[in-house]
Each structure stands twice: as C-alpha cells, then as structure tokens.
Structure 1
Amino acid sequence: MEKMDMYVIKKCCFMIASMLVFTMTANAQAEKQDSREQLSAIAIPEQLQFSKAIVSGVSWYDQQGKTVSAHGANIIRDGGKYYLFGEYKTDSANVFKGFSCYSSDNLVDWHFEGIAFNQQSDGRMGPYRVGERPKVLRCPATGEYVMLMHTDNLQYKDPCTCYATSQAITGPYKFQGPLLYKGEPVRKWDIGSFADDDGHAYLLVHHGIIYRLASDFHSLDSCLMNGLKGAGESPAMLKKDGTYYWLSSQTTSWERNDNMYWTSKSLSGPWEYRGEFCPKGSLTWNSQCSFVLPLENGSFMYMGDRWSFPRQCSAATYVWQPLTIADGKLTIPQYFEAWDPLTMQQEIVDSTKLHERKWQSQVVGDCLSIPYTGHRIALYGTTDSMSGYADITIRDQRGHKVFGGIVDFYSLIPATGIRFLSPMLAKGKYTLELRIAEMKPNWTDKRRNQYGSTGHKVEITHVMIE
C-alpha cells in the first residue's frame, strides 16, 4: 500500500513526524510549523473533554490506570453505587481466570474492587475451563447476592448454568454448583438475567428460553418460555410501560451482527418480532448486546461488547448507548461516541482540540511517533476488514514507559471515529509510539468457520490533545 507523502515510515524504528504547534494563548501569532516540532496541548479548560462522558469503542481504565476488563457484563445499583461484573479476560487464551467487579458513582469512572469470583482449584470453574456472562442479582427475600454464570469446557461441549453466592456485593462469591430446574442442570451456554419490578427475577437463555428463579434465587421454579423463533444468543431484557423487550444477537461467534428484538405484554408470550433496534447494516454499531441497565431518570442504557479475539483483555472494548423507546419501538438511531449518562445527550468534541494527522500503513513493524505536551491524547482512525492491531506505548520525556496498550482497528464494515483514549496523566511532555503488530484479530467458531481480519492495516486520521 502506498504511504502518505507527508510521512516516512521505517521498519522497526520510528522518527518524529510532522506535527502542528498549538498556541497557548488566544492572542498569540501563528508560528511557522517545523516538521520536527512537538504537538503541544492548548490551555486545559476547567472541564476536560469526556471527563463526564461514557466513551464507547475505546479501552477504559480503573483507578490504577489498568484496563477495565468486565465483558459479557451486567450492572446492579446498590447503596448509591453502580457495580459492574464481567469476564476478567486474558490476551493469551479463552480460558476462565475469574469474574471481576468494578464500582462507580457515575458510570464513567471505575474503581477496581477485585476478582469477585476466582477460578476454582478443580471442577466446572477450575483450570482450562470456560466461564462467561456473569450476572449478579440481589435476592429481596434473603438480601443475598447471587451470581449466575455459564460454565463449559474449551470445546463448548459441556455447557451448564451455575451460580455462586455472597453476603457482600463485591464478593468473594462462593461456588454453589449447577442451577437446577426440576432437579436437573440447565445445559445451555449464553445467558442473561432480568429483575422485574414485582421482586421476581429470571434467567434468560439463548434462543428464547425464560426460567423464573425460586424465591431464594438458588434454583429455578418454572419455565415461562421454551424457545422463541428467530432468537439467537446473548439475551438481554428490559420492561417499559408494561411491555417486555427481548434483545438478542445472531449467531456469528465474536463477529458483530445486526441484533434483534421482540416485544410482549407477558413473559410467557406471545412475542412479536420487531426487527433490528439499530440501523440495518450497522452491526449494532459494531457490538453484541449483553445487558440493559435501567437508569434513575427512567431511561435505559444498552450495554454491548466489541469483542477482539485473541486480545480480549487489552483490545476488546464496550459500546454503551442510550436507548430510545417511543410508541413501543426500541431504537439506537444514532451512535454517540461520547455521551453524558445524566443528560443522555451526546458530547461533541471541541473542534479546537481535534487536528488532522493522516498516517496509514499495513506493514508489520511500521511505527508512528507523536510527541505532545498535555494530560491525555486520543487517536482517531478508520477500521475495516483489512485492519489489525496496533501496539501503543507512551513514554515520558526521560524515555520511561508510562503506558502500554493494544488497539484493534478491525471491523467487518468500515467505520471512522475515536480508536484510542489514553488514561489521564500528570501534565507533561510525552511521546506516543504506535507500532503495527504482527498478530491480527482472527478466530474460528465451534464449526471451525474462519472470522476476522485479512490484513494488518492501521489508519490514523486525527489526533486530540488535552
């Protein structure tokens, strides 16, 4: 692929690219740009960009600056806080290592509470097993916290829905074994959960199966629906004005697809198919549904995963979007890269912070270097089916590494937007180094069908400095 004329790329090394100099005062005269000058942050405003916004499609960081790893997740609100539970992923293999717990006051800033449920020494949740889609509920009858989960072997041929319990929301959760219905385990894989406003809670299972949890949430006392035509995997549910909404993805492994929904006045049906809830062909804004969170203002938040195999820990991200419900129709009509969960409004990027920075290569090992001064840097770029991983390193002015991460530039359909947002650092002089990785996003499903990228391309379009 032909390189951009304004940059020279050299294998396994980097050179300082042509940059813009930002003025620090409004009245300063424009200075002549030199190709080796450093990007400099403009004066930091009182309110930083995205400081109160949920930003989808980029890695998030906890209080220690580590990547938030909580996929296939759910959130419950307890004691005035939000608690996020999800799969604590690795970058090496699709094996269970634990289910994580994070807390937040605002759905934006996340505090790592710890591993709420650890890998067991043996058995269904032991080494070399699969553990997915943890869903935590608080039982109103006992006050106990119950975690539902999917367990399996590495070949996905030993599925079982199990549960664990804890007296504290953050855990540790004690494994209790299979969740039984009529004395038998539920031998299924993708699960979801739903807590109704009458105190009852339900286990949702792929392909349209609904079980009601017993009063102590330790077993299942009834099956309200045993299949829904057309329903797929990763079930989620919400209730609005007496109508239930069932969300489901199609069955395309970790590849994104157009998720669907159904509505009914009763959990036992009949259910009406309503089609996609995102624009057709958007592949649910490049995500798979996981959970729907009711917000205090009466609105609902869609929670989806943007999977990235095999770099599920470092490069998989989240797509959280406000849901629109009007006249019984559920939609996410527009993708908000950043939005305020208090106002449900999109946050628009300050155009004075966004600067064109075109760079493109598909050669493994090619590097881009961006010196800058500020607290934080963001990269905007294009994703498509020929794109791969980029390794990101940030160094301080003494050359010490202060951050390392991985960005996934793959998507089945092309998209342009924010791809990387660094953690907040002390204001100073830094250099961001981007290197095209040798590994690319590729995987197979249970039938050994191939998915993922056909190349290593990485394309940057803009840079934002704060």
Structure 2
Amino acid sequence: MRTILTLATLLTCLSGNIKAGNNIRPGALWPDNRGIHINAHGGGILKRGKTFYWFGEHKADTTSAAMVGVTCYSSTDLANWTYRSVALSVSNEKDNDIERGCIIERPKVVYNAKTRRYVMWFHLELKGRGYAAARYGVAVANKPEGPYQYLYSSRSCPGIWPQDWAGSLDSTTYNAGRQIKWWTPEWRELIRKGLFVQRDYAQGQMARDQTVYVDDDGKAYHIFSSEDNLTLHIAELTDDYLHHTGRYWRMAPSGQNEAPTLFKYKGVYWMITSGCTGWAPNKARMFFAKRIQGPWTQVDNPCRGPKSDLTFGGQGTYILQIGTPKDPHFVFMADIWRPKQPSDARYIWLPITFEDGKPVIQWTDQWSIKP
C-alpha cells in the first residue's frame, strides 16, 4: 500500500501547543531578539539539552568575505532566536589562515561525547586567493556558543587514495587527460575515473562546500565538494572529530554537486545537493544509500511548488532533525543568496515529508514548528 505523510499531516504533528510566535515564514526577514535580521548564513544547528544553537557565516553589507567570523544564536523553540556571540572570530594577524578578508563558508558544529568538546568544521579560502586554496578548517570550544579556538586548515588526505579507488590512470592516459578539452564527454569520463584525484594526490584533495554528519554509532563524517566541485567526497573522522582518518569515498563522480545536506530515516541515508551555478539557484538533486559510504543512487528533485526547479530560489545548507528518535521529523534549511548585499540573504526552512518512501519538500508561505 502506498504510504503518504502529507504536509498537512506533518504540520498538524508539529503545531500542537504552539504559540502564535512559532511561525516560520520562508524567505522573509527573520529578526533576532534585538530586532536585527539573523546573520548566520550557510549554517547548521546543534542541539544540547533543550537548546538549539544556530551557527553560520556573518555576512557584511558589501562583501561575502569573512570580515567578522562565525556567529552563534540560540533558541528553545526554533522560531525565536537570541544572539549569543561571534563564536569564531577572524584574525587581525596578517597571513593568518583566518585573516580578516578570508572566505569562511558553511560552518557546522558537532559535540564529541568522548572529549566533551565542541568541534567546528568549515570551508576555508585564504585571503586574496579566491577559491584556489580549497581547504577545510577546524576549531574547538568548551561551550557550544564558544569562543572557538582555531586549530588548523588543510586539504583532504594528501598521499592517500580513496577507499573505492579503481587504480591510477596510466601515465599516457593521465597526461593526455590533462590536455583534453574540459566539459567534453571524454573529459567527464576521465574525471569519473579519477583524473583530478590523481592530480591532487600529493597536495591533498580539494575541500569546498561541506557538512558534517554524526551517525547513530557516534562515528562522524565530513562530506564536501572536491575535484573542482565535480565530485563529492565522504571522509571518515577520527574519534575526537578533529581529523580525517584517511578513509574516504567518492560520490557521484563528475556529477558536479555542491551544498551537500544529509539525514537518515528508517535506515536509509538521504543526501540533497545542488548543482554548481555560482550564487544563482538551480534544481536540487537527491540521492539515497543503504551505507553512508555508498553506493549512492540519484532520484527525483524533492522540491514541490513555486520555483521548485530552482529550489525555491535558494540553496540547501543543512537538514535539521526534530521530534523524538522514535518519531523523527526533518527540516530542510536553505539560503537565498543576495551577492549584491550579502547581509540581506534570506532563509528557507521547510518541513520534509515522505511520499512512496521518498522525501518531499513542499513550499508553504508559513508554517508552525515544534522542536
């Protein structure tokens, strides 16, 4: 029998005993406790106890470079947010990795129960180098709101091949591939076979748009766009969540995906990504797998409603799990980028429902949320 969890059903589940102030209005200005539009873009959510912490990029009015750092807000109802602090501040020191004017994107914070520390991962580009560095950065704190101590930045797994590696291209094929015209079918096939993995083997793999996922067993994974944003990598983290273990897998080789978001429902991993069109929106992609390492299978665009072929004008950043472990619900979080005035970028939060076992994101102008 076809099983459908409709949007109306989910909103009924979420709206019991909700105050009038718990409404979410996707795409609208979202003021914090000070009446200022929340400035936490490309963000993610951490829950500790009954409190949710929202971390994101602080955007200036005229530039997307990091002039302040990563901000933190807190809430107990997910609708009304209190500004807490700049969780990770940029540095005024010249040539510091996180020097003011660098690029810090998509910060995600996870809690490590063994070390009792909060660990922040983010995409980092060095000041004045555009997107050439393609690094991840790591910072830690003793409290969820910080302050976070910056530790280091790196490319991923230098000198290590992926776990699902089929073997190096021979020197003749590799050298010819380096000269071949980009975007041709032949070039894409060489990317799929690992042309750019081989290119970046010694210096480490590129790490751009990213998220971090902690599985049910406590094992954590770093998921990021690599190979010039042509292939996603899924890298296993050490027990303290501070480093890659050296084990990583490729996902959708040559598929050109970024903005990875991940959740797990009834034993199935679901990943929603975007294409690569700069600041302009595009159609969301969705994949599923029985193991986080893959293999992953692509299915339909999960979005429904106005501008569904453009992810409602936004780009995903995180999938928030709410409810209880026995009865989980999920919220798709996305950003409507405004590169001419970055600080005015808006947020799209929408509930995820299921039809025929597949996630669906239905546009709604307003809905009520319950943690």
Q: Same fold (TM over 0.5)?
A: yes
Alpha-carbon contact 2:18-2:368 (below 8 Å) kept: no
Q: Does 2:112 correspond to 1:135? A: no
Distance (whole Å) between structure 2 residues aligned to residue 182 and residue 48 of structure 1: 47
Amino acid paired to 1:270: P
Alpha-carbon contact 2:135-2:155 (below 8 Å) kept: no
Alpha-carbon contact 1:86-1:100 (below 8 Å) kept: yes
Count residues with an aligned counterpart. Answer: 295
Deviations 1:44-70 (A, max 9, x none): xxx999522111101111111111100
Alignment partner, residue 169 of structure 1: 144
Cα distance change, pair 208–270 in 1 and its aligned pair in 2 (3 A): same
So what's the TM-score if we normalise by structure 1?
A: 0.60
Q: Highest relative contact order (Cα 8 Å, sep 6+), 1 or 2?
A: 2
Alpha-carbon contact 1:179-1:218 (below 8 Å) kept: no
Amino acid paired to 2:236: R
Deviation at 1:149, TM superposition (A): 0.9
**What secondary structure does 1:285 align onto?**
helix
> Which protein shows a greater Rg?
1
Q: Which residue, out of 89, 112, 133, partners 1:158?
A: 133
Deviations 1:126-171 (A, max 9, x none): 0221111101010122110000011114521122101000011000
Distance (whole Å) between structure 2 residues aligned to residue 166 and residue 99 of structure 1: 13
Amino acid paired to 2:358: K
Q: Which runs of 5+ in 1 are unaligned?
A: 1-46, 344-466
The structure whose residues are more often helix, as a share, is 2
Amino acid paired to 2:53: Y
So what's the TM-score if we normalise by structure 2?
A: 0.75
Q: Which residue, out of 169, 178, 197, partners 2:153?
A: 178
Q: Does 2:117 correspond to 1:144? A: yes
**What secondary structure does 2:277 align onto?**
coil
Alignment partner, residue 69 of structure 2: 98
Deviations 1:358-412 (A, max 9, x none): xxxxxxxxxxxxxxxxxxxxxxxxxxxxxxxxxxxxxxxxxxxxxxxxxxxxxxx
Alpha-carbon contact 1:71-1:88 (below 8 Å) kept: yes
Distance (whole Å) between structure 2 residues aligned to residue 139 and residue 78 of structure 1: 12
Equivalences for residues 211-226 of structure 1 within 5 A: 211-226=235-250
Equivalences for residues 6-405 of structure 1 within 5 A: 51-96=21-66, 97-122=68-93, 123-153=96-126, 154=128, 155-178=130-153, 181-182=156-157, 187-206=206-225, 207-229=231-253, 230-279=255-304, 282=308, 283-297=310-324, 298-313=328-343, 315-332=344-361, 334-342=362-370
- Worse-superposed segment, 161-170 or 193-202: 193-202
Deviations 1:182-206 (A, max 9, x none): 4676532111111111111110112
**What secondary structure does 1:290 align onto?**
strand
Amino acid paired to 1:237: L
Cα distance change, pair 142–186 in 1 and its aligned pair in 2 (3 A): farther
Q: Which runs of 5+ in 2 are unaligned?
A: 1-16, 159-202, 226-230
Name the Cα RMSD after superposition: 2.1
Percent of residue pairs identical: 28
Distance (whole Å) between structure 2 residues aligned to residue 306 and residue 64 of structure 1: 22
**What secondary structure does 1:295 align onto?**
strand
Alpha-carbon contact 1:161-1:185 (below 8 Å) kept: no
Deviation at 1:231, TM superposition (A): 4.8
Cα distance change, pair 186–117 in 1 and its aligned pair in 2 (3 A): farther
Cα distance change, pair 336–66 in 1 and its aligned pair in 2 (3 A): same
Distance (whole Å) between structure 1 residues aligned to residue 28 and residue 19 of structure 2: 15
Distance (whole Å) between structure 2 residues aligned to residue 130 and residue 72 of structure 1: 12
Distance (whole Å) between structure 1 residues aligned to residue 316 and residue 62 of structure 2: 24
**What secondary structure does 2:312 align onto?**
helix
